[in-house]
Structure 1
Amino acid sequence: MIKKLRGSILILTAIMIVILTGCVSKTTTANEKKGKNENLTVNIGIQQSLGPLLIAKEKGWFEEEFAKVGVKVNWTVFQSGPPHFEAMAANRLDFGAVGNSPVVAGQAANIEFKEIANVSDGLKGNAILVPGNSPIQTLKDLKGKKIAVAKGSSGFNLLYRALEKTGLKPNDVKIIQLQPDEAQPAFETGAVDAWSIWEPFVSLQTLKKNARVLADGKSLNVYSPGFLIARTEFTKEHPDLVVRFLKVFEKAHLFEKENRNKAIQLYADAKKIDKDVISKVLENNESLNLPTSEEIIKAQQDTADFQYSLKAITKKIDTSKVVDNSYIKQALQELKEEQNK
């Protein structure tokens, strides 16, 4: 009887040790994560565009989520995509959202980054604008005219593709390289004749400033997809944080999709733009959060080959090499599993 009792006590003791060891292990793991991330700040770049990244920023969702693992968040505002890559090259930026042309230029410049998600197709998100009373009626009428565009941006690629399709050469027009904050007053005052730009500027100008869309990606059959990008070294050192970033972005993406009126109000408050303009922006440039498809990769390759033909980039590149869909697939799968619990 005593032997049996001793045996039972030993078994119970062993069970308790396993349970306690498990608890200690879990606590240690959590603490180790916080310790590993101690003094770590995630740097996120954002442009003037409307989209889930802005929703998450305004609601503080990245700060809230990263704080769970002891990570701080720092935001940097950029006027266009190309400066994101300069910042990544200097290790001052970890995440960002950019258009197609900056990605191509960044890869050609050997900057280490990965496309971690496709967030728009951009067919109507970029356009070439002219004033409502302009005599310019067709793309051919741009010959000899002054056109504002941000160098290396998605608007830059759209403009050059439009000229090619029309039979014009870049030196047939006067290209004025201006960032959006400089191009907007130049366009509105007539200092330039046309402007190749993206949303929300397209809808703002057409709805509020009587501008006309001369051509867009849809009319030209030119994709201008948008991507979430991450610094390669960061993805290797903190793959868990890349997945966490994408899960927060998806939360914001679903908020925009399922709560359209609230999202429009949030954008209106954040950017001081009329709600009818924002509604048009969302209609023209639907947000996505998906793995980059073969179709989009091909569209990117077409862009890269075209820019190489122009010598806008100095070497041929394989655009599939910067695509890494593993993080977005994992993020969406984890969210699905969490939802089914």
Structure 2
Amino acid sequence: MIVSRRTLGALALAAFAANLGAATANAEDKVIRIGYQKYGNAILLKAKGTLEPKLAAIGYKVTWAEFPFGPPLLEAINAGAIDFGHTGEAPPIFAQAAGSAIVYVAHEPPAPEGEAILVPKNSPIKSVAELKGKKIAYAKGSNSNYFAVKALEKAGIKYGEYEPVHLAPADARAAFETGRVDAWAVWDPFYASAQAGADARVLTDGKGVVSNHQFYLASKSYVGPNTKAIDVVLTELKAVDDWVKADPKAAAAQLSGPIGIPAPILETALKRQSYGIKPIDDAVIAEQQSIADQFFALGLLPKAITVKEIAWRAGT
């Protein structure tokens, strides 16, 4: 089943409304509502449990909401359901083009080995160039959307010379395992999980194709009045970065239960992740602008955008 981005966003917001409503602080309380996914350092921070006491020291509470992938998370920020979250490179570009009131806050270094195009182990397809005319699953507007476009372009296949099948990761895995698609472009930990349990074979990862940055984003109306809270979150994200980078095996063992991912799969994903949170700078803005320009040239954006217009540079 192909699910539209709009439908996914509506379903995600509806699903989280009850939990978010129950967790929303009273008017006199200060709160930061964080959206996270099954990848990246925000879920590690949640599992670690170090953020809550640091925020309490400055008079803030935190609530958490899980999202299936980036576009619904950014729709939730735009709708006022959460204040802060993280995605890959592509979702903020689609969100900005749609008029979402978001700003870039920080980013992680490139992690190109953290996403891949997969085929079944017994597939006759041996190279990306053989995907011409084939069905390729990926989440529309996600990092894997851009990765698939670039990897196929590098192999000489133009956009329109293959059939994109827009599926969220769980649905894409089902389609992949039942042979309803020929290939699947996806990120960790779904990538690592497919390697471990879905008889998946890697055609290519992102190395030499895409940077695969992770971005932290926030509501434009939230950042100014709540700079202290955002600074604390970023500081704690850096501390988790340092801990996981130093000993991914131990981190995987400790976080496996809270995150709900088997330790060996989580360890594989953590070793392919990047660490070292950084402020938004001209170089990463230029990379994002290049992605946005390509999406617009392909007719995938409704209008051209200027990425630097939504870059928050406090503290840089």
TM-score bracket for this pair, using the shorter chain length: 0.7 to 0.9
CA displacement at 1:87 relative to structure 2: 0.9
TM-score for both structures, normalised by structure 2: 0.85
1:277 aligned residue: 265
CA displacement at 1:293 relative to structure 2: 4.0
**Following the alignment from structure 2 to structure 1, what is the Cα–Cα distance between the partners of residues 107 and 200?**
29
1:287 aligned residue: 275
Aligned match for 2:199, one of 210, 223, 231: 210
Report the secondary structure of 1:115's partner residue. Answer: strand
Amino acid at match of 1:247: T
* Alignment coverage as a number of residue pairs: 291
1:243 aligned residue: 231
> 1:102 and 2:127 equivalent?
no
CA displacement at 1:60 relative to structure 2: 2.4
**Following the alignment from structure 2 to structure 1, what is the Cα–Cα distance between the partners of residues 249 and 272?**
16
Larger Cα Rg: Structure 1 or Structure 2?
A: 1
**Higher mean C-alpha displacement, 153-162 vs 63-72:** 63-72
Aligned match for 1:266, one of 223, 242, 254: 254
Report the secondary structure of 1:278's partner residue. Answer: helix
Please provide the CA RMSD for this pair. 2.0
**Following the alignment from structure 1 to structure 2, what is the Cα–Cα distance between the partners of residues 194 and 257?**
31
Which structure 2 segments of 5+ residues have no match?
Answer: 1-25
- Counterparts of 1:210-229 in structure 2, within 5 Å, are 210-220=199-209, 222-229=210-217
CA displacement at 1:312 relative to structure 2: 1.1
CA contact (8 A) 1:146 1:194 kept: yes
CA contact (8 A) 1:148 1:178 kept: yes
CA displacement at 1:126 relative to structure 2: 1.7
Amino acid at match of 1:92: A
- Percent identity, aligned pairs only, is 33
> Relative to 1, partners in 2 of residues 1:120 and 1:207: Cα closer, same or farther, differing over 3 Å?
farther
Cα deviations across residues 73-129 of structure 1 (Å, max 9, x unaligned)? Answer: 211111110112211111111110100000111121221222111124131122111
Amino acid at match of 2:86: A
Cα deviations across residues 193-244 of structure 1 (Å, max 9, x unaligned)? Answer: 1111101112222244331221222142x22211111111101121111112
**Following the alignment from structure 1 to structure 2, what is the Cα–Cα distance between the partners of residues 83 and 133?**
34
2:23 aligned residue: none
> 1:75 and 2:64 equivalent?
yes
**Following the alignment from structure 1 to structure 2, what is the Cα–Cα distance between the partners of residues 69 and 285?**
30
Amino acid at match of 1:242: I
**Following the alignment from structure 1 to structure 2, what is the Cα–Cα distance between the partners of residues 37 and 70?**
13
> Relative to 1, partners in 2 of residues 1:232 and 1:308: Cα closer, same or farther, differing over 3 Å?
same
Instruction: Kindly report structure 1 stretches of 4+ aligned residues shifted beyond 6 Å.
Output: none
1:15 aligned residue: none
> Relative to 1, partners in 2 of residues 1:271 and 1:62: Cα closer, same or farther, differing over 3 Å?
closer
> 1:42 and 2:42 equivalent?
no
1:148 aligned residue: 137
**Following the alignment from structure 1 to structure 2, what is the Cα–Cα distance between the partners of residues 133 and 325?**
49
CA displacement at 1:142 relative to structure 2: 1.1
TM-score for both structures, normalised by structure 1: 0.79
**Following the alignment from structure 2 to structure 1, what is the Cα–Cα distance between the partners of residues 107 and 311?**
10
Report the secondary structure of 2:224's partner residue. Answer: helix
CA displacement at 1:61 relative to structure 2: 2.2
> 1:63 and 2:63 equivalent?
no
1:304 aligned residue: 292
1:184 aligned residue: 173
Which structure 1 segments of 5+ residues have no match?
Answer: 1-35, 330-341
Amino acid at match of 1:46: Y
Amino acid at match of 2:78: A
Cα deviations across residues 4-54 of structure 1 (Å, max 9, x unaligned)? Answer: xxxxxxxxxxxxxxxxxxxxxxxxxxxxxxxx98323311001111x4322
Cα deviations across residues 265-288 of structure 1 (Å, max 9, x unaligned)? Answer: 123223443433223212222223
